[in-house]
Chains A and B, each alone.
Chain A
């Protein structure tokens, strides 16, 4: 299953993601400690540095801001940062399909 692969310990750059408690939206941990809706605003960690991000995520879970914070592997591309795994790319872009003629 692709469900949340343990990315901690990965050699890839890492970002921290979660779902926002009140509406479930995908959010990314930013450098100022807040949560943003776009990956490009996320703070990037290398190696063990991610522990600080995960600790911040856990603290915000305790404060009922987010649910299920975890580390996500990303790769730098000429177009910007992209998650390594398809699951996380879908979380960044939203569903790849839209209902026909949704209002």
Chain B
């Protein structure tokens, strides 16, 4: 817990701005050293003093991958929370070292696709100027902790998960024992009963909650993961008291570290260990480890929690008694605005405020892509409308978490000319798609153009609103970065003799009702996959009961009507 202890408690009354964890001099010095170290490594590589085999693990530790056309730099956005200044710095990196855009990912990070190796140290140095880095975005370590994009704002939240996400970040950052795990390790946390962080597809999923006395504790899920062997996590504990959180996480990680297979990369995730030893036995092993850990050493001191909490004090909300009425008036006066409000907002816990979702899924666009000009504009809007704070959602959209309801219409009007006001959150064009074969060296097939063609096929937003909520997820290979197994409609790119084919699954979910999708049948060629998706959606429209969402219809009917329709259309 040393890393946490060095942060002295800050005054809880002081608003630090933007709900961003502020780095101290120690963190900054550490980042500067890492940049200098990486600069020297790159220089040695370019001079031929390091071979690719020697250099590859070093560049991956700094988030630098070699993709199909160039190096790709993956930058961490801890739990998807960033300030306006940080987003501006991403715009600067996009403009200076890339081709003027970046790609937000399902791990709430951002990737730049066109970085030259010789520029990478400068790009990373530029990130460090804004307390940003690319550490723990690659390799067999604990990756960026993800959380609910409405954390610290949502009306239905019981505990602010950012506080614990930050505690976990500090605990896991460069943890000596956990830098070389059998495989990468992903943790998600939420503080609301509605799961917006896809807990059950994570190695560890945490729900922060309160007991009858108001004390904080955690429900713990473990052993989830997608990829080649998709498995949903199971609930290993209904309640871990706050002060035992780190001890319990240590117990899980130690059990995994001791028993997890390292020989076969496809069998090294914790999900495989849990599957092989069985849930009950795994839970037993974790409890044994938990019981023997020196509890005092790993105790999460309330003073530490308070110190971290002080970094997340709420912004200075104004009393705006007329804001709700003003919003209702604007909604009544403008149907297009009403449609956007209906899809792209979430209830805020503060009266008069609302969370606004900026869709990065314009019809025909690249899901999750954002140009440097858009980043700058969003940074300005965040300062104008949301206390300078921006969130990245795991479905690749951005969120302005704290918008006054009486200013929401003005925000929407400002977003429109930027191409950022598509009213499609949760609709079929709000597709999660990975970079696929357009960029990724591991890909089997393209994902982005499939997403674009589906969105274009249903370009009329009225049709999309009629179809209602349906999550489509498209992964370019079995690694499942776009979580296709848990899409209501999941699409997986496969390679058949060098050509692109797509396997479709139906009925997946990443929410509280988590489920893995069922395969509908043989894979479709690139030219046919969009027709198949259309057939599935038309079948849903034909067989749905009044008011029934796509996933509900699917759960009632099963595969049969969809299979029949696809068969008839073939």
Q: A residues bordering B, Cβ < 8 Å?
A: 1-3, 5, 19, 21-26, 61, 63-64, 67-68, 84-87, 90-91, 94-103
Contact = CB atoms under 8 A, between A and B. Distances in A.
Given A1-B442, A2-B437, A64-B46, A24 B70 contact: yes
A61 to B, nearest CB: 7
A86 B438 contact: no
B100 interface: yes
A67 B48 CA distance: 12
Given A1-B444, A3-B442, A102 B101 contact: yes
Given A96-B449, A97-B448, 7 more contacts: A2-B444, A26-B69, A87-B495, A96-B438, A96-B448, A102-B99, A102-B101
The 8 A-B pairs of least Cβ separation, nearest first, read: A85-B498, A23-B116, A103-B100, A95-B438, A24-B70, A64-B48, A99-B369, A24-B71
B68 interface: yes
A87 B452 CA distance: 19
Interface in B343-373: 362, 364-366, 369, 371-373
Interface residues of B, number: 46
A1 B445 CA distance: 9
Given A86-B445, A86-B499, A95 B369 contact: no
Interface of B: 45-48, 52, 66-71, 95, 99-101, 115-118, 362, 364-366, 369, 371-373, 419, 437-439, 441-446, 448-449, 452, 477-478, 495, 498-500
Contact of B118 (A23, A68, A102): A23
Contact of B117 (A24, A84, A101): A24
Contacts of B443: 1-3, 87
Contacts of B441: 3
Contacts, number: 115
Given A94-B69, A100-B365, A101-B419, A24 B445 contact: no
Contact of B45 (A2, A24, A64, A84): A64
A76 to B, nearest CB: 16
Contacts of A101: 371, 373, 419
A97 B452 contact: yes
B366 A97 contact: yes
B52 A61 contact: yes
